[in-house]
Amino acid sequence: MKPAPFTYHAPTSTGEAVALLAEFGDEAKPLAGGQSLVPMLALRLATFGHLVDLRRVEALRGIERRADGGVRIGAGTTQATIQRSEDIRTAIPLLARATPLIGHFQIRSRGTIGGSLAHADAAAEYPAVALTLDAELEAESPRGSRTIPAAEFFTGVWSTTLADDELLTGVNFPAWTGRCGYAVEEFARRNGDFAIAGATVALRVAADGRLDRCAIGLFGLGPTATRARAAEAELLGHDPTAADPDELGLAAMEQLPSVPSDLHGSARYRTRVGAAMVARAWRRAVQEARHG
């Protein structure tokens, strides 16, 4: 199939792109890397009268190390650029480890971090990483700019809090300092496929050996990526080695309101896989925090 007819726009500035989104409203759609949107258009799962191609907007690209140790990434920065970045590898290890799991290198060479976050696929890695690390997303509209915590950004299947005239311009990842451990684990049918179930873990161990920061992200297990916040709260203040990883995985799954069934597996199967991914990620993150 071919996409429905649309008008193509290629702005060269953020302001121009935002003006186009404001002019055409819900008939307009930003086109970042196009790795998810273009197939949807071709299958006519989505139709828009206007496509606003962001490839020429240089201001949307780049990786900036902040004075506080955090990192700002322009929304138009490709996943391949993130994968190659030494700043990302040293400052945001979880993001660096999740990136190679995204599709194949051809997809990462065109796909962007902003496109992945705005597309909000529940099985994608970047939304889970953003939630786990308490990232903040920047959006611009004719009304000005605003910052959206990742915890408030994802609202449902392929939906976010972005208004029709808002453009995602960047994402800020705060620095985690001290004895930290990170891990991402996912299970997919084939290399490069979307995850049937996945987990991200970030934790920090205080000088007394107890957890003073902990985050467990889940993806592929509901309409959006989510955090196992109740399980996190139970772990804080305790020795991370005292937690049974398998029990932790089961506890994280119990907090999900529902797990979907589809052609890739039943809800029961996905729940078992999700618990295993949490347990595996927890073991790796704890080992890293203890031994480096």
Q: Residue 220's Cα: distance from chain center in Å?
A: 12
Task: Give kind and range of the element (H or E) at residue 282.
Answer: helix 267-291
- In the chain, ranges of CATH 3.30.390.50 domains: 179-291
Q: CATH 3.30.465.10 spans which residues of the chain?
A: 58-173
In terms of CATH, what superfamily is 179-291?
A: CO dehydrogenase flavoprotein, C-terminal domain (3.30.390.50)
How many whole angstroms separate alpha carbon 125 and alpha carbon 198? 8
pLDDT recorded at residue 1? 66
CA–CA dist 51, 28 (Å, integer) = 6
Residue 263 has a pLDDT of 84
Q: Hunting for tokens 């790795």 — which residue is that?
A: 35
Please report the pLDDT score of residue 250 as a whole number.
97
> What pLDDT, on a 0 to 100 scale, did the predictor assign at position 277?
98
Torsion of CA 189, 192, 194, 196, to 10 degrees: 30
Burial of 271 (0-12, 13-18, 19+ CB in 10 A): buried
User: Do residues 107 and 113 lie in contact, with contact meaning Cβ atoms separated by under 8 Å?
Assistant: no
Outline where 12-77 has alpha helix (H).
Answer: 14-24, 37-42
Domain with CATH 3.30.43.10 in the chain: 7-53
CB burial readout 145-184, b (16+ within 10 A) else e = eeebebeebbeeebebebeebbbbbbbbbbebeebbbbbb
Per-residue pLDDT tens digits of the chain, which is 292 residues long? 688 899 999 999 999 999 999 999 999 999 998 888 888 888 888 899 999 999 999 999 999 999 999 999 999 999 999 999 999 999 999 999 999 999 989 999 999 999 999 999 999 999 999 999 999 999 999 999 999 999 999 999 999 999 999 999 999 999 999 999 999 999 998 887 889 999 999 999 999 999 999 999 999 999 999 999 999 999 999 999 999 999 999 999 998 998 989 888 899 999 999 999 999 999 999 999 988 6
Q: In whole angstroms, what is the distance from residue 56 CA to residue 77 CA?
A: 12
- Give residue 292's pLDDT: 67
Q: Are 279 and 201 in contact (CB under 8 A)?
A: no
Residue 207 DSSP code: T
User: What is the predicted pLDDT for the residue at 43?
Assistant: 85
Residue 290 has phi, psi (to 5 degrees) of -80, -40
- Rg (the chain; Cα; Å): 19
CATH, domain range 58-173:
3.30.465.10
Tell me which fold the domain 7-53 belongs to.
3.30.43
Token readout for 183 is: 């891990």
